[in-house]
A = this chain, B = another copy of it.
Amino acid sequence: MRERKISESTIHRLSHYYRALNTLEKEHFETISSKELAKREKLTPAQVRKDLSFFGSFGTRGLGYPVKELKGRIAKILGIDRTWNVALIGVGNIGSALVSYKEFQRQGFNIKVLFDSDQRKIGSNHKGITVLDTDHLEEELQKNKIELVVLAVPASAAQNIVDHVVHCGIKAILNFAPIKLKVPDDVEIRTENMAMELEYLSFTLVNNKKGERKKT
């Protein structure tokens, strides 16, 4: 096995490189240097090279990286060279927005099933997908070979659902409930916490951080 210990920041930057390479491909670039790629992503060339070097040597000295090939390599690293079966639980305000969002589908995150506990919603149709009853959650997750779950239920319901989701072997969860959920070590859960981002912005506003950057 190759040696692992890749930081979260590196993975996030790979996502950025991937988008940049997509654009570059559309602009008909054949190759790109770390310098130019860094400039587009507001990073340093060394950072770009170091990030990529964790996964192999993809470039050519004196020339740079082959756009199309590097894009493919990163897709493979990120696991987006395939599609994933996704279930969305909680078809409320945010859940509905997510179902309507075509970008996920296009990126290979295929929302296959929807769940809700509200009788008025069960059986209804969202973008061609029927809303199922959470009572049949585990059974349906398995039947549809779901690999990734998006959670958009109220915070109070989230932990209970996560327990079921984990119980049937799901290893990746994207959570929108503003709560810290308990999962076993081998399950990755990412929480999208908008309130926290607003608080960060609020902090920068009251601390005028950017204005008085250097320490006095």
Contacts and interface: CB of A to CB of B under 8 A. Distances in A.
A171 interface: yes
A56 B177 CA distance: 31
B93 A101 contact: yes
Given A100-B93, A199-B78, A185 B210 contact: yes
Interface string A167-199: 000011110001010000111101011111111
Contact of A11 (B1, B14, B203, B205): B203
Q: Please give the count of copies of this chain that the complex contains.
A: 2
Given A206-B79, A207-B4, A174 B201 contact: yes
Contact of A205 (B148, B178, B207): B148
A52 to B, nearest CB: 15
* Interface size range on A against B: 35 or more
Nearest to A16: B180
Nearest to A84: B202
Interface stretch (A58-66, A102-110, A133-141, A158-166): A102-110
14 contacts: A79-B199, A79-B206, A84-B205, A93-B96, A93-B97, A107-B199, A109-B202, A147-B205, A148-B202, A172-B204, A172-B205, A173-B201, A190-B197, A192-B197
Interface of A: 1, 3-6, 8, 11-12, 14-16, 18-19, 41-42, 77-80, 84, 93-94, 96-98, 100-101, 103-104, 107, 109, 147-148, 171-174, 178, 180, 185-188, 190, 192-207, 209-212, 215-216
